[in-house]
Homo-oligomer: A and B are copies of this chain.
């Protein structure tokens, strides 16, 4: 592995949401020797991508946060969707999510039921299922390998999940009825993106079933957002 990729894999070591890591933990996660890890970590600290804490452990730095906020793609996706409008039109809480390594990451919301920054599990949420349906094979395989039972209604049988993903790929709306949180129903569809893959998932959340009219509005909004994104 080249040096640059190694240094970036150090950042990836923080990818699953751990707030801080010690040097040995980073070395273990990346598989790099300790001295090499130390050198890379120091360069990242000098840049601001990592910060050293008082106890010697490291955490992701502000520089990374600032730069990440500049990334135009999730911004454009969120803006293209017009969440407050969808929220007002359907009367349901709306959110957009993009594929992250460990699940579907909520990058924007309106209505308050699914806060910004939430990491939704692949197999138990509507947005997660939509993104998983088009994810890389290895991601899908690991997601289906050991699906956690989060509520009594969580579907965990790999065969059933694979069938759901197949239907979603054929255009069916993804539904999660209390599979993630009790008393919460989600529906989601893909926002069309480049290369035939979704740019993200657009979802509605409610305390009860989502009526067909709201689903239709969701579909229209997702299609419109995809069209907006397509013309740069």
Residues of A with Cβ closer than 8 Å to B? Answer: 2-5, 7-8, 11-12, 14-15, 17, 19-20, 40, 43-44, 46-47, 49, 51, 53-54, 59-62, 64-74, 98, 100-101, 105, 107, 117, 194, 232
Contact = CB atoms under 8 A, between A and B. Distances in A.
B67 A60 contact: yes
A7 B44 CA distance: 11
The count of identical subunits is 2
A20 B72 contact: yes
25 contacts: A4-B4, A5-B43, A8-B44, A8-B47, A14-B67, A14-B70, A15-B67, A15-B70, A17-B70, A20-B72, A51-B73, A53-B232, A54-B194, A59-B73, A60-B68, A60-B71, A60-B73, A61-B71, A64-B68, A65-B73, A65-B74, A66-B68, A66-B105, A68-B68, A69-B117
A127 to B, nearest CB: 15
Given A5-B43, A68-B71, 10 more contacts: A3-B4, A4-B4, A4-B44, A5-B47, A14-B67, A15-B70, A60-B67, A60-B73, A62-B71, A62-B98
Contacts of A60: 67-68, 70-73
Contacts of A53: 232
A62 B73 contact: yes
Contacts of A105: 66, 69
A40 B67 CA distance: 17
Contacts of A40: 4
B59 A65 contact: no
A115 B67 CA distance: 17
A75 B73 CA distance: 21
Contact of A69 (B8, B11, B61, B65): B65
Nearest to A102: B66
Contact of A232 (B3, B44, B54, B72): B54
A153 B20 CA distance: 45
Nearest to A55: B232
